Structure 1
Amino acid sequence: MRPVKRPTATVARRLLVAAAVLLAVSGCVRLPDDGPVVEAGLGNGPVDHPAGAHDPVPPDTGASRQTIVSGFLDAMTGWPNQINVAKQYLTTEAAEAWNPGAATIVYADTLPAQELGGEVSVELTDADRLDANRAWRGSLSPAELTLDFHLEFEDGEFRIADPPDALLVPASWFQQRFRQVALYFFDPTAQILVPEPVFVPEGEQLATSLVGALLNGPSARLSRVVRTFFPDGLDAGLSVPVSADGVADVALAGEVAMPSVEAAEPMLAQLAWTLRQDPDVSAVRLSIGGEPVPLRGGASVFDIDDADAYDPAGATTSTALYGLRRGRVVYGAPGVMNPVGGPFGTGRHDLGDIAVALGGDWIAGVSTDGTSAVVAPTTATGPRIRAVLDGTDLARPAWDHLERLWLLDRGGGEATVHVLDRGRARQIEVPGVTGQAARRLLVSPDGTRLVAVVRQDGVDRVVIARILTGPEGRAEDVVQSTVAETVGGTPQITDIAWTGPATIAVLARASGRLFEVDTVVADGASVGSDALSTIVSGRVVGLAASADEDLPPYAVTLDSVIDLEEQTETALGAPMDAVEYAG
């Protein structure tokens, strides 16, 4: 009764690309009349139109203050990426101290520069900040959109004396030259990998960029969220060559001890999952200081599929689809769903919604009136149904890989979040969710992200927060709330679902029988990501999708599911109160 995940490498498939095939499904679904269909997600291949080289112009003799500032902004768009010309617009002291690698500011446009006294002000529009690892850190506040440049007279010319420690570039320039990928670190228990989205330069040196970014390690704000097994002080050098047969040669330099076979395994797992985003890579050869890192069985290379035990979607995640039919939990494939083992598979239970643990061995159910949550196993020989929480308006629960059960009590517009951790339920504060009008909750399989739909001032928001876990697996805190998507006015978010380890599909009601489907990256980035917005027409009540990209995503109607990749609609045999994957 416990189907498990196929032991193959995850195939990069994206829900919203597949949504295009819905046009062929019995007239139930249609797409907008215009606009391209593009792939959404991380590490999804090079841009269609690679950017050409750009050689910026040094400052002219006698240039005005405004011209110097404009030239400085243009000089930062030199490509291949270089800052030598940009430094010529700075005073000697400022050029030595300037650190453009500390951050990247990506802006939509600039308003005409304004000069007042010895300063020039430039106002940016719709700007976003990336940190030193090029991870998205949010949009600039209105106050931060105005940049003031103080200029001094040096050697008879105006030069900028106080440049911001950031690379300032237009969004159009950035999107042509950078792609969003995921770096893979471990959760604090070292049991599962966690994707952290960042941006890397486009081009033929993708493997080099990926390894270099991975060696930078997680930023300080992630210190209690994820961990890396690469010690400080390692450098991949100028290049990570990839052979014709797909072997990435990662030759690290640094004064560190050679790891044992056991200690090298998590390092290789991080490399394998990070490098599999390069389609040319199928295996990794790792060396430190010119000496090969020892591998199990004396192997010389590490196949990227050998790290599937640390799959961020869960290495043993059930592949079955689960449903709630007339108070009984069923599982299987669309159209062929039979009762589960255990108490929820027999009789009729007062269940309004369910969530199945990743391994398929436990089921959590919420009563039809939302006042109680219960848990039961999926084996007939296990324990019976156990009450775990009383509430006022409980939403669908969520499980993570540590078999922690997360519950949202909507509480009449003043939500509370609870976690069943080691058999005991306790309330946990979630910024941006607790006390708000929250309706839906997700938790990533890796247990590091909590996602909720929150309505505020007539706007639906997708709020993403990070979960802090102790080394023993206890959820300690939830922090760093980020708004990743907003849907205002008539549209209303009706469901959210994981469609990959770091991507979330958002189903929003547009009007009547029309629904809009968007995808967001788990970091909430609004810049540099390809996304498809499409209109779905029909009696769609939700989404059934999984962080396991090998599992087909579905749009769920009252009595059928629509396979978004196979162009087929399958009747469920009987109306279902809930249809979903494990998680």
Structure 2
Amino acid sequence: MTGPRRRRAFLAVLAVLMVLLASCAQIPRSGPVGKSKDEGAGNPNAPVFFPAAPRAGSSPETVIEDFYMAGSGYEDDYPVARQYLTQAQSVTWKPDKRAIVFREAQVVKSAGENEYLYELDVAYSVDADGVATQFPPGTKETIPLTLEQVEGQWRISKVPDGTAIPEETFKVIYGAFPIYFYDPTFTYAVPDYRWFIKKNTVKSMTSAVLAGPAPYLRGAVVSAFPSGMKLARESVPVVSGSAQVDLSAKELFDASAEDRQRMQNQLALTFRDQPDVINVQLRADQDLVRVEDNGTVLPPVVDKSVPARQIAVSNGDLVRYENNRMTPLPDMQPVSGLGPHSPAESPVSQTAAFLNGDKTTLYAIEPGQPARQLTTRSTLTGPSFSPHDWVWTAGPGANGAAEVVAFKPTGVAPGMAIPNVTLTPAWLSGRTVKDFRVSREGTRALVISQANGKSTVQITGIVRNADGVPKDLTAPITLVSSGSVDQGVWVNSSTVAVMSGSASGTVVPELLSLESGEPQQLAPWDGLTSLSAGNGSEQIYGQSEDGVFQRVGNGWELQLKGPTEPAFPG
């Protein structure tokens, strides 16, 4: 379908868009607990599409186009879309298996009799658990279809499971929602963003939590729910503000009191933005299971914050930059002879790290001790600390392959070996790592790499042994940026700021979010060479030869001239 034709079709669909009443969803207030037929909450104002039914005399091409447009009519299990299928295919077609979101689409005749291809420029692919994969413009996918005539009308007799909908429709019907898991110590909550139809999200969220984390987080995070635990019924009703989660009884009763508390906390976090959910009830065979809070289980930290101070370089030495003034680092020996660059500070101790002048050697320093050399390579990324006091960097190994290395220098006596780990993930093969930044809760890392002149922004999970020692990086997800980038920082638990630094050109930083596929461009500024970020998008700092600037509204405001390469702890 051509662009104008697709847009006309979309406008025709919008013409029959009906929005639910603004009042809250009707919740049964009487009858046996657990017998409510309410499918669970979501957005009671979520739009409902009423797509067009098949038209007599439509060509095969029109039937295919209208069938996929009817994928917007999700209520009651896609009844209109099924009318475009033969009776046999209508019974077996599973629309919830996958949603392909396209920018442009066209129908092409293929070689076989009555066989066609639906050719798509794909923007996203969303699997049955709501895990979305972003694709840059120009990414192609084809869907094969076979048609036959039924009582003189063309109907689809063979089609893969799943739907394909225009990007504009997708943004109206679907929303990005965080479900939550834990770091392995159960200290921090880690968001795992999924895309669900907005109408009935509580059931979708619950099923996704029970199914476990997205592939890029598997092994890096943990769940309070054991593998194999299922919903005992195919709904999660919300009655008087309580989400009633009916679970398989054996696994629930086998769990410890602490585990049940963590289960309830995990679901409460997951549902916290659902307007009609106030609390969570765990149930077994529809009977309430009381969760005892004996004070041993603390709620996890959500969106971990960083201290307000920054570490920076001034007059060739490390300094603290806070409240728009500089002070010496407490009890730190001078390192000006090493030409420090790209400084970093631990969020949990006073350990600092930095690169030397040509950015080939990584050093760590603690109060009262001289700097210690950790590694030397032909080039290194700026150091980044996790809350476990491991400091990370990346650079080529002896054979030139990309390696990610981590050291734990804190508390190691002078002359003693510093624990370290070298990781060589296969997905970095042939790539040059430009930046590596650990997330605030320590379970993920932002990785910016380049190959053949093209940069890629990815989020990977950090897998650790039982003793907390890093052992692997998961296959990552990719965030789509508008252009080439070579550095980035975490802004909060779901957003990173990235840019390509330039001392002489105009730089346009961007915000990339796990909850949105659209990069958000910040105000352009000349000569930005480094970025730092505190707690949220209003605490983003950029540095140029004119000084340190803070993002204010839709612009940049000079803070202080003197410090360079400021960085918040982490």
Distance 1:81 1:348, change over 3 A: farther
Aligned residue type for 1:333? E
Contiguous gaps of at least 5 residues in structure 1: 1-45
Deviations 1:382-436 (A, max 9, x none): x653322122222211122332221122689864321226843333113454543
SS in 1 for 2:259: helix
- The amino acid across from 1:310 in the alignment is V
> Is residue 567 of structure 2 the alignment partner of residue 576 of structure 1?
no
- CA 1:286 to 1:471, structure 2 compared with 1: closer, same or farther past 3 Å? farther
- Structure 1 equivalent of residue 508 of structure 2: 516
Match of 2:124 among 114, 125, 128: 128
Counterpart for residue 501 of structure 1 = 493
Pairwise CA distance, 1:127: 4.0
Over aligned residue pairs, what C-alpha RMSD do you find? 3.7
Residues 149 and 237 of structure 1, relative CA distance in 2, 3 Å threshold:
closer
Query: For 1:567 and 1:159, how far apart are their aligned partners in 2?
Result: 55
> What is the rounded CA distance, in whole Å, between the counterparts of 2:194 and 2:122 in structure 1?
19
Structure 2 CA distance for partners of 1:549 and 1:360, relative to 1, 3 Å: farther
How far off is 1:441 after superposition? 1.8
Task: State the distance in 2 between where 1:51 and 1:296 align.
Answer: 36
Return the match for 1:549 from 509, 522, 536: 536
In structure 1, the partner of 2:49 is 54
Q: C-alpha displacement at 1:171, in angstroms? A: 0.7
Match of 1:325 in 2: 314
- Kindly indicate whether residue 246 of structure 2 is the aligned counterpart of residue 252 of structure 1: yes
What amino acid is the match of 1:159? Answer: R
Alignment of 1:428-467 (within 5 A): 428-467=423-462
Q: CA deviation at 1:230?
A: 2.1
Query: Structure 2 regions of 5+ residues with no counterpart?
Result: 1-41, 410-417
User: What is the distance in 2 between the residues matched to 1:530 and 1:75?
Assistant: 25
Are the counterparts in 2 of residues 76 and 82 from structure 1 also a CA contact under 8 Å? Answer: no
Give the AA of the match of 2:156. Answer: I
1:558-581 Cα deviation digits (max 9, x unpaired): 422314369884543x52232011
Could you tell me how far apart the structure 2 residues matched to 1:389 and 1:292 are?
Answer: 54
Matched, 1:368 2:357: yes
Secondary structure of the residue aligned to 1:496 is strand
Alpha-carbon distance in structure 2 between the residues aligned to 1:346 and 1:123: 60
Work out which of the residue numbers 375, 387, 406 in structure 1 matches 2:392. Answer: 406
Q: CA deviation at 1:341?
A: 2.4
**Which whole-Å CA distance do the structure 1 matches of 2:119 and 2:68 have between them?**
12
Q: Matched residues in 2 for 1:499 and 1:298: separation?
A: 32
**Structure 2 length-normalised TM:** 0.78
Alignment partner for residue 392 of structure 1, among 363, 378, 382?
A: 378
Equivalent residue for 1:171, pick from 167, 170, 186 = 167
Residue identity opposite 2:308 in structure 1: T
Deviation of the 1:238 alpha carbon: 4.0
Q: Retained in 2: the 8 A contact 1:189–1:471?
A: no
Contact persistence 1:342–1:376 (CA under 8 A): no
Alpha-carbon distance in structure 2 between the residues aligned to 1:453 and 1:153: 52
SS at match of 1:269: helix
2:27 is aligned to none
- In structure 1, the residue matched to 2:302 is 311
Task: Report the counterpart of residue 5 of structure 1 in structure 2.
Answer: none
1:354 aligned to 343, 353, 356, which one?
Answer: 343
CA distance in 1 between partners of 2:143 and 2:377 (Å): 50
1:40 matched to which residue of 2? none
Counterpart of 1:562, as a letter, is: Q
The one-letter code matched in structure 1 to 2:271 is L
**2:302 aligned with 1:335, yes or no?**
no
Q: Work out the CA distance in 1 between the residues paired with 2:342 and 2:288.
A: 55
Structure-2 separation of matches of 1:100 and 1:252: 25
Q: TM-score, normalised by structure 1?
A: 0.76
Q: Which amino acid aligns with 1:515?
A: V
- Aligned counterpart, 1:16: none
Q: Per chain length, whose mean CA-contact separation is higher, i.e. which structure has more relative contact order (CA < 8 Å, sep 6+)?
A: 1
CA distance in 1, matches of 2:488, 2:537: 19
Give 1:61-76 correspondences, 5 Å limit. Answer: 63-76=58-71
CA offset digits 1:143-191 (Å, max 9, x no partner): 9622221124556654323211212111110011212122111234444
Deviation, structure 1 residue 321 = 1.9
Larger Rg: 2
Is 2:296 the partner of 1:296? no
- Matching residue within 218, 231, 239 for 2:213: 218
Question: What pairs with 1:197-208 in structure 2 (closer than 5 Å)?
Answer: 197-202=193-198
SS in 1 for 2:460: strand
| 505-514 vs 319-328, greater mean Cα deviation | 505-514
